[in-house]
Amino acid sequence: MSAEPIRSSPTERAFITPEGVDLRLNIGDAGQRAAAFMLDAAIIVAVLAAFSLIIFFTGVGAVGAAGRAGAEMMAVIWLVVFFLLRNFYFTAFELSAAAATPGKRFMGLRVASRDGGRLRAESVFARNAMRELEVFLPLSVLFARAGEGGVDSWMYLLAFVWAGIFVFFPLFNKDRLRLGDLVGGTWVVRTPRRKLTRDMADDGASRLTVYDFTPAQIDAYGAKELHVLESVLRQGDRKTKRAVADRIATKIGWTRDPLQSDSDFLSAYYAALRGRLEEKLLMGVRRRDKHDV
């Protein structure tokens, strides 16, 4: 993968996918990421508050009947839910097809692998495990009562400095990476909300009579590759289209007619792949990329 600043914008980067396509993407700035985190934190607090009310109103009778043991059981359940929200909220959403939490989706952001490949589960786990050290551990100390002096006060000050370092860490690197991104090999990029036009699919569909792809050939790729192919067709770069067309033809075992253009071949395959993915989606099958089986 090659990632370097592009002069036209301080947030724009070159991004070479495993298919050899040079795409341009924009990294999320610090303000967007902070806003997304605050939205996610608000959702976690709201869910926790709602659960707390449920525990309170449903547990009153149990506590009254079981006494202290009932109260302790309610407290344990609350702590378990808090633990799950705190540790798996971000991981679960970032492992989804959108690769983004509700906060990131609202801000038009998603998590991506910096090497241009598939976003791996271990990368998502690593980047979110580091959040415990970056945010939750120092915050737990900050919200605890500081002692009147001595060691407790120094611990409080250390936690404050610790939290400050990690909060401002993304401001001191060009790609706005937090420590979790460095460890997980990820970064957060912008995903502008743009609906796919039917014109492109319709244009390719008219060529499917010439390009009779088999189901196996269409199933060679998934949703991620569909979006890459759409970007290639929109950019219209002749060399890129030739490289991508040759790569797809080699992978699916398609013998290309020299008289047929790269654009026609790619448009037809785009229409076939999109139709296949939409057909599967209606049956509840979502294929994220070519690695999904």
What's the pLDDT tens digit per position in 82-130?
A: 888 888 899 999 988 788 999 999 998 989 888 777 788 899 999 998 8
Q: Which two tokens stand for residue 206?
A: 């008219």
pLDDT, one tens digit per residue, over 133-164 is 887 777 676 666 544 444 467 777 777 777 77
User: Quick check: pTM over 0.75?
Assistant: no
How far is C-alpha 245 from the geometric centre of its chain's CA atoms? Answer: 28
Give the pLDDT of residue 4: 41
Task: Identify the pLDDT of residue 207.
Answer: 60
Residue 216, classified by CB atoms within 10 Å of its CB into exposed (0-12), middle (13-18) or buried (19+), is exposed
Phi-psi region of 127 (alpha: psi -120 to 50; beta: other; left: phi over 0): alpha
**10-residue averages of pLDDT along the chain (293 residues):** 46 62 72 90 90 74 55 75 86 87 91 80 90 76 55 68 78 84 89 52 59 85 80 80 88 83 85 77 53 56
Q: Is the dihedral of CA 156, 30, 37, 121 positive or negative?
A: negative
Query: What are the φ/ψ torsions at residue 116 (nearest 5 degrees)?
Result: 85, -5
The residue ranges of every structural domain in the chain are 5-190, 198-282
pLDDT at 11: 72
Question: 127, 186 in Cβ contact below 8 A?
Answer: yes
Q: Can you give the pLDDT at residue 196? A: 44
Q: Look at residue 287 in the predicted model and tell me its pLDDT.
A: 54
Lookup: tokens for 202: 């319709």
